[in-house]
A and B are shown apart, each in its own frame.
Chain A
Amino acid sequence: MTAAFSISGLCFTYPDALQPAIHQVDLDIPEGAAMALLGPNGAGKSTLMDLILRWKKPDAGTIRLMDRPLADHSAAELGRLMALVPQEEQSQFAFSVVDYVLFGRAPRLGALGLPSRGDVAVSYQALEEVGLSPLAERSVMSLSGGEHQLLLLARAIAQQTPILLLDEPTSALDPANTANVVAILKRLHRRGATLLFTTHDPSLAAELASHVALLQGGSLLAEGPTGEVMTGERLSALYQTPLHTLRHNGRLLVFRSA
């Protein structure tokens, strides 16, 4: 299997910080994988995501995207290869839902191009995919938290990229909305999308990820297929609290000791 991302010797330290946020990370993310970057708060998950997104520049090390150095891709090329679903995003202006999803088409238009009817149709399909099409003409400012997360997901889907980066995709959602988002992500993964998501919730990683990378203090603790990497021992060491795993009806469950 070819690698969507191939990361080697990656280091990054924030200005004025004493400790590196990312230290000597080597990681291959296979094409078509659903990989969770799992770790406690402050482990370096979001920083690693930003480096992969090329939003931050590493101090040392390399990232290859689809077998080419990340730095060699143009901004528009990056936008055609990977889409971002941020953890939160607020608009100060009352865009309609469909107009907001249409923003995902930007990397496919020329430098100063305008979206066509075809782009509008793709945006509606994306809204259909996440179940938001009845709200297409509503203002994004009137959406609930769950609907807003689906909106960001729809924009990423409209971007039609082979890779989706998701920053804590369910951290602000109630159980029903979490189940909805997970179901959509599983569907996208089955269709061949490479998913890379950060989470501090081992249960989400166990449910959604085919591969897991465990991050602690900016270093990689372990990585590989979910079933092999997510053991009670490793998770307990990662979160500094006793955690156990159990396989039930083919599903991996994570729970805390009573």
Chain B
Amino acid sequence: MMQKRHSSHELAATERARRNRLLLVGLLLLLPVLACLFLFFGRYPQAGWTPPGSFWEEPLLRLILTQIRIPRILLALMAGAVLAGSGFVFQMIFANPLVEPNFLGVSQGAAFGASLVIVGFGYAPVWIQVSAAGFGMSGLLLSWALARRFRFGGWILRLVLAGIAVSAIFSSALAFLKLVAEPTRDLQDITFWMMGGFWNITPARLLSILPAVLFSLVVVFCYRWRLNLLSLNDRTAHSVGMIPIRDKTILLAAATIGTTAVISVSGLIGWVGLIIPHLARRVFGADSRHALPGAILIGALFLLLCDTVARTLFASEIPIGLLTSILGAFGFIFILIQRRGGLR
């Protein structure tokens, strides 16, 4: 009898794992199908659906396809995957469902870097990318160095405090840049960059962030089960054979490198790293073995859909950060007022 009950429970767990695997495969198949379908949506020659035949007839459309739509859709997929995956990693490592990738001074550093170029040299996309990536990473390194010198609390708390301090410094510097920016052109460019978008992506810029994005996703994916252990307290993680500080450092660095690479070309895209991990845990359960790849795939799908809406719905582009913020905030409220509500 006991053996029978034992087996039925094991069956439930196996069934749960099988269902999760099927869902992951389903999402993995859905992504390329939708990505291909959305290639036929855009604003040229008219807003909405572009008949496939017209790509053969019109050379300009072919150019738009290869130089704009394909890189843009790939960037949307990469950005969604990285931001959601990194958000998941941050939430697990900080054992806090309210943190996101921009926790360690990265986004404010990147925003400062981009604004510095805009104010100093005008709108130069390549230099904005380089500067945003450089200052974004310097946000991480500064947080790191400061945390090592702090004499208060454990390592993770020190990192959080250092991240808050570094973000505040970059925010002040950014406010100063906005104050001195030429108001009719530079200030608008800064505001637009900070709202996020994929409109100025080129194949070359996409390739420039590919190594960082792949590195980030591969490292995070390899740790997908052990991430569970890092959400426990460090002493427990140590007792089951982990080296918590080393493992957390590797994961935080990988997540931040990926995030910095993405926002250096896209600008700030909020809420994806916060809300998608919650959604993934609702669908796949708390075990990060399935929920982490789930978050990566749902994040990619989410930004693919948002970007398609952003570039198709109106004659002028909707900044994608604006869309993700609206959808993210409503999603957040929905999760909190659900019957089985609460953050997971």
**Taking beta carbons and an 8 Å cutoff, which residues of A are in contact with B?**
50, 53-55, 75-76, 78-80, 82-84, 86, 89, 91-96, 98-99, 103-104, 106-107, 112, 114-115, 117, 120-121, 124, 128, 133-134, 136-137, 139, 159, 165
Contacts and interface: CB of A to CB of B under 8 A. Distances in A.
Contacts of B243: 75
Interface residues of B, number: 36
A96 B344 CA distance: 12
Contacts of B5: 133-134
Contacts of A84: 235-236, 239
A93 B344 contact: yes
Given A53-B235, A103-B232, A121 B10 contact: yes
B12 A159 contact: no
Interface string B141-162: 0000000000000000000000
7 contacts: A75-B242, A92-B231, A95-B287, A99-B286, A128-B2, A136-B13, A139-B286
B339 interface: no
Nearest to A113: B225
Interface string B225-258: 1101101110110111111000000000000000
B331 interface: no
Nearest to A95: B286
B233 A55 contact: no
A89 B240 contact: no
B311 interface: no
A137 B12 contact: yes
Contacts of B241: 75-76, 78-80, 106-107
A7 B270 CA distance: 53
A247 B195 CA distance: 77
B326 to A, nearest CB: 27
B10 A124 contact: yes
B48 interface: no
A99 B10 contact: no
Contacts of A106: 226, 229, 240-242
Nearest to A158: B240
Contacts of A54: 238
A90 to B, nearest CB: 8
A86 B289 contact: no
Nearest to B287: A99
Contacts of A86: 233, 235-236, 239
B125 interface: no
The 6 A-B pairs with the shortest beta carbon distances in the complex, nearest first, are A79-B241, A107-B241, A84-B239, A76-B241, A93-B286, A106-B240
A89 B9 contact: no
Nearest to A86: B236
A115 B287 CA distance: 12
B92 interface: yes
Nearest to A79: B241
Residue of B239, B242, B281, B286 most packed against chain A (CB within 10 A) = B239
Nearest to B281: A93
A112 B250 CA distance: 13
A54 B97 CA distance: 30
Contact of A136 (B9, B229, B287): B9
Nearest to A74: B241
Contacts of A98: 9, 13
A234 B316 CA distance: 84
Nearest to B94: A92
Contact of A91 (B14, B96, B231, B239): B231
Contacts of A89: 232-233, 236
A116 to B, nearest CB: 11
Given A84-B239, A137-B13, A92 B97 contact: yes
A112 B226 contact: yes
Contacts of A78: 239, 241
Contact of A55 (B14, B235, B281): B235
Contacts of B225: 114-115
B223 interface: yes
B189 to A, nearest CB: 40
Nearest to B98: A92
Given A112-B222, A128-B2, A93 B231 contact: yes
Contacts of B12: 136-137
B214 interface: no
B122 interface: no
Contacts of B10: 120-121, 124
Contacts of A92: 95-97, 231
B215 to A, nearest CB: 15
A139 B342 CA distance: 14
A104 B240 CA distance: 6
Given A55-B235, A96-B287, A79 B240 contact: yes
